[in-house]
Amino acid sequence: MPTVAIVGRPNVGKSALFNRLAGRRISIVHDQPGVTRDRIVAQCKLGRAPFAIVDTGGIGGNVDADFTEQVHLEVEIALEASDLLLFVVDGQSGMTPVDQELARRLRRIDKPLILVINKIDDDKHLPNAGDFARLGFPHPVLVSAEHDRGTGGLVAQIEARLPARDPSAEVEAVASPIKIAIVGRPNVGKSSLTNAILGDARTLVSPISGTTRDAIDIPYERHGHTYVLIDTAGIRARSKVDTSVEFFSVTRSESSIKRADLCVLVIDATMGITMQDKKIAGLIQESHKPCIIAVNKWDLIKERTGTKEELNEEIAKLRSELFFLDYAPLLLCSAKTGAELGRLFKTIERVQKEAQTRVGTGVLNRVFAAAIAAQPPPSRGGKRLKLLFVTQPDKVSAVSFNVPKFVLFVNDEKLLDESYRRYLEARLREHTPYTGSPLLFHLRARTPRDKANDTRGQKFGRHPESGGRPPSGPRPKHSNKKSEKPRRRLGG
């Protein structure tokens, strides 16, 4: 797929243009310069054929001294991998010395380039666009990313300048990629883990907390399977979020949990489970997302504790702290050494495979009946939960990543409390583990009409589970009273 890189100095609206071309808000847009630090990739589907767009950090100005060198490296990688460059400038503030310096650098790159004059929100800004003629780039495109002005003309120019496609190289996608959100609190090694998986310094890594600001979607292919790795910003407690940029970063990370197919919760083994780790685990649980717990920096724990018993104690301690995610497999890994990263994707495949398992209705009802017989549900207000029937909807397509769902027909859905629900879930997992997946129980209470139908069925010798049909067997013969009376003879 052709790739278009968006470059320019800080705060000219590159991220706003990226979001406009992507058709959704991906990059954080803020007046503060230097917000975008990583390469962020998405697809633009506004033209005749889709193409990839790459948002980059601002070049020049030294607005973020801690990351300037790394941001420039990310931009250089994006320029090298792209087929076309969009050089974005600010049409309201006019040309600056930084724009002129960037123009000189970009001319030395042997790539097609389109000058995009952004922030032309109104006709009164048109005279400012004339200043950029001195840069020497023909046919500049005037746009307003914020107000969706000139987007269609820009897409047409991009398609005209992109290299022709080879139809034989087009491959039809047979399955949607699995979206994996890598989440955790700040500085636990999420970006390091992402880079170790990719074998590339794809995202910025720094000991400074809060390095990653955007939720970055990174396509990845492994052994014939396609994935999208979502490297997210560290999620801090709301009370400790001190800037609006960090607020949007945390909000974007929380949204990434909801749109992901599976979450990898990264824990710092040297710090143990903190209260914030538990809160993030709670977000995953509330979103009903499959989960794998990746305990990073485990190599440091192995160096510190020598015996196997001590290591098992550490694992048991981690498990007990995250007891409410007991279905999530625990992976002891190290982004630094690459230990156990291969097993991560084997575990993901296992989670997906088991999530597709469908338990037969008869087996399912026997499992629940045995569970209730072993431990009856508690009484609430003089009433007790009665489980009438359990079924599992037909499984979805094998290429999707679904969460197992079960429909429980009960007398009153309010009688099932959380502790007994967990008990039923545990008994079901003894039969079918569903590793890494939460189980969704949808309760359906009998309506007055259902009760009337059940009573009518019993009155006429019908069984509720037979669907209202009479039991099999020969029908009884009924006597005809009229035929038993003697007929009068004609003329008698």
Q: 368 and 348 in one domain?
A: no
Q: 302 and 202 in one domain?
A: yes
In a domain, 123, yes or no: yes
Q: So what's the pLDDT on residue 234?
A: 56
Q: So what's the pLDDT on residue 82?
A: 81
- Predicted confidence (pLDDT) per residue in 338-359, tens digit: 888 889 999 999 999 999 898 9
Q: 348 and 367 in one domain?
A: no
Of 99, 102, 149, the residue nearest 126 (C-alpha) = 149
In a domain, 476, yes or no: no
- Predicted confidence (pLDDT) per residue in 291-328, tens digit: 999 999 998 888 877 678 888 888 999 999 999 899 99
In a domain, 490, yes or no: no
Average pLDDT over residues 245-257: 61
Average pLDDT score over the chain: 77
Could you tell me if 396 and 175 are in contact, meaning their C-beta atoms sit under 8 angstroms apart? no
In a domain, 105, yes or no: yes
The 3 state secondary structure assigned to 71-112 is: HHHHHHHHHHHCCEEEEEEECCCCCCHHHHHHHHHHHCCCCC
Q: 313 and 231 in one domain?
A: yes
Q: Which domain holds residue 263?
A: 178-355
Q: So what's the pLDDT on residue 262?
A: 95
* Whether this model's pTM surpasses 0.75: no
| Cβ neighbours of 336 (radius 10 Å) | 15
Q: 135 and 283 in one domain?
A: no
Count of structural domains, the chain? 3
Tokens standing for 111?
Answer: 């790539």
Q: 143 and 79 in one domain?
A: yes
CATH code assigned at 23: 3.40.50.300
In a domain, 221, yes or no: yes
In a domain, 478, yes or no: no
Residues 399, 162: Cα–Cα separation, whole Å: 32
Q: Report the b/e string of 234-258 with b at 16+ CB within 10 A.
A: bbbeeeebeeebbebbbebbbebbe
Helix (H) or strand (E) holding 481: helix 481-484
Q: 184 and 35 in one domain?
A: no
Place of tokens 């990583």: 38
In a domain, 480, yes or no: no
CATH code assigned at 414: 3.30.300.20
Q: 342 and 385 in one domain?
A: no
In a domain, 474, yes or no: no
